[in-house]
Amino acid sequence: MILFKKYYNRMFLNDVRRIIEEYNMIEDGDRVAVGLSGGKDSITLLFILKLLQKYSNKNFELCGINIDLGFDMDMTLLENYCRENEIELIIEKTNIGEVIFEDRKEKNPCSLCSKLRKGALYRVAIANGYNKVALGHSSDDAIETFFMNMLCVGKLGTFHPCIKFEEKGITVIRPMVYVKEKTIKSIVEMEQLPVIESNCPVAGKTKRQEMKELLADMEEVYKDLHDKIITALQNIDTEKMWKQKR
């Protein structure tokens, strides 16, 4: 059973509440679907939002949605956790893995996989009457995405904490973007949250992993690198940016 502990406030809840309030992410009457991959980030987000549902003054519904990519991952632990904590879990079977690795034989599969997976997630959420989709990105993910865009694509930018898709009638929220990955790891360990090992053929061999290692090396020299980049993403001096190419 998920129970509130006072030290959660300083450890992570204050940061989550702050981003939710800054972007008005969750309102009374919302139906929030958490995208559950089985990894540490998404199960931590589910845990945090269940805490808020139980102990905050926000009145919202909550469920988890797992998009099964076809990699034969055993979701029993996740199913048991959701049942024990009275969280609806929707598992949607897909052939996304087969399409990417067998049909198209993608050399750089992560981008396409992400698009197909999110498309399926949004479709299932809408079909089940959910108006918010919550993704478990951390502040580390935001920084890694910024560097991937800069070094691999040649543009400045990262994902936004809150995006409303008017045409779909759904809003995508990222309530953990002020929470560091090391904090998420600590939560998983302390709460013994169920984390399911990924069977993806390219797990641990991605551009994101390269960025993670690059940033770790940089932090050896610049100790406050992480916090400075997060601050910079909210403090953009547009007058000193070059004009966009036409």
Annotated binding site for ATP: 35-37, 41, 67, 136, 141
Token duo for residue 26: 């969750």
In the beta sheet, which residues pair with residue 61? 31
Helices and strands, number each (H, E), in the chain: 10, 6
172/162 Cα distance (integer angstroms): 6
Annotated binding site: 35-37, 41, 67, 136, 141
How many alpha carbons fall within 13 Å on the CB side of residue 126? Answer: 14
Token duo for residue 115: 């698009």
Instruction: Check if the beta carbon of residue 56 is closer than 8 Å to that of residue 203.
Output: no
Three-state SS for 126?
A: helix
Three-state SS for 78?
A: helix
Token duo for residue 15: 């940061």
56/35 Cα distance (integer angstroms): 22
